[in-house]
Chains A and B, each alone.
Chain A
Amino acid sequence: MSNTDNQGPLWEVFTQKKAGLAFKHSGSVHAYDKNLAIEAARDLFTRRNEGTGLWVVKSEDIIAVAPEDSESFFEPADDKIYRHPTFFEVPDGVKNM
């Protein structure tokens, strides 16, 4: 008996829990085309009212930062601490800021 790899490509599934919330990665499904992918995603990830919105995207179309690049990619943010409100001194007694 031999199995060939014929489960179809992998798709990443994103669900939106409530209108107004950000879409969040839920997991992935195998499917042969986008229609089957969205149906499989519905069956698998919205069995308990988890969704008001659903996206699927082919995994191979996602561009991700490689772990070995993450330092050079994200570190420049480290020396710009003035982007955070806690950087600034607010005189005692000033309210609502």
Chain B
Amino acid sequence: MSENIEELERQFQEKIDNEVKIEPRDWMPDGYREHVARQMSQHAHSEVIGMQPEGNWITRAPSLRAKKILLAKIQDEAGHGLYLYSAAETLGISRDTFLQWLHEGKAKYSSIFNYPSLNWADMGAIGWLVDGAAIVNQVSLQKTSYGPYSRAMVRICKEESFHQRQGYEIMAKMMAGTKEQQQMAQDALNRFWWPSLMMFGPHDSDSARSSKALKWKIKRESNDTLRQRFIDKTIPQAEFIGLKVPDPDAVLQPDGSYKTGEINWDEFWNVVKGNGPCNKQRLDHHIKAHEDGKWVREACLAFAENQN
């Protein structure tokens, strides 16, 4: 029996090494199944929880144009959450179970959404930095070994690039505005820069799960590689519109990449553990929205049953 498992594992790794995608009904090691389920559901939860900081500003958008764009962006986030939940469900875990794990605190979402969005400049910073970081990660994940996850990533990447441009446009406009607007934009960058870098997760040397995920090609590139790519793209974008990243140690190196200061990992772990400024608010709101929708689900179900 154990020989059989070893043989199945060997064949599985051979497929991975040959870039053959794993499909839902293929044999896969339990560890792979768990890792993909956790990563996809965490990704889905992040999309959905990520609607909250931006939803906060729909009614206060400075123009009808800005409001329409923000609405479309948030609608996309909902869509991306749904793509990812569907992909995660192919592993035989129901949507409601994923939601239950989120509500019980068993499943996480990206910590960046536990920071508050204080003003309109934050809509710029979130679109530019948070979506920008997400795109770097998601472009890499298009090549993930799990077929349904990969297909969801391809679809999401196609849609997501407008999000980053939307954010950058807000920042660029503010930087072309009054002194107060410029200060607001800089302040938003100051607050979102470090949490954006934390989105890529712990350093490779401290990331316990990473090596397995890379061997199975669930992740295609390491946390530090992706983070560096984001840094190298973003610092010139900041400078182009007159912003400065809040890192006195950031220096351009001869090879064109940036050396940066150390991330405050105590803050990172503290927010992951639930002690960020908005953890409770985000989760409470999600639970309330889910509970408020309960009667709709029940009515739809009863109606559908009556039709049969």
| Residues of A that sit less than 8 Å from B by CB | 1-8, 10, 26-30, 32-33, 36, 43-44, 47-48, 64, 66-67
Contacts and interface: CB of A to CB of B under 8 A. Distances in A.
B26 A5 contact: no
Contacts of A7: 94-96, 297
B240 interface: no
Given A28-B86, A47-B76, A64-B25, 10 more contacts: A7-B96, A10-B89, A26-B155, A27-B151, A32-B300, A33-B304, A33-B307, A44-B82, A67-B26, A67-B27
22 contacts: A1-B103, A1-B287, A3-B97, A3-B103, A3-B290, A4-B96, A5-B94, A5-B97, A6-B298, A7-B94, A7-B96, A8-B301, A10-B89, A26-B155, A28-B86, A29-B82, A29-B86, A32-B303, A33-B300, A43-B79, A64-B25, A66-B25
Nearest to B103: A1
Given A47-B75, A47-B76, A67-B26, A6 B82 contact: no
Nearest to B72: A47
Interface residues of B, number: 33
Interface in B75-91: 75-76, 79, 82-83, 86, 89
A79 to B, nearest CB: 23
Interface string B147-189: 0000110010001000000000000000000000000000000
A27 B300 CA distance: 22
Q: Does more than half of chain B's interface fall in helix, strand or loop, or is it mixed?
A: helix
Contact of B99 (A3, A29, A67): A3
A51 to B, nearest CB: 13
A5 B95 CA distance: 8
B8 to A, nearest CB: 12
Contacts of A27: 83, 86, 151-152, 155
Contacts of B99: 3
A5 B89 CA distance: 12
B39 to A, nearest CB: 18
Contacts of B155: 26-27
A7 B85 CA distance: 12
Contacts of B72: 47
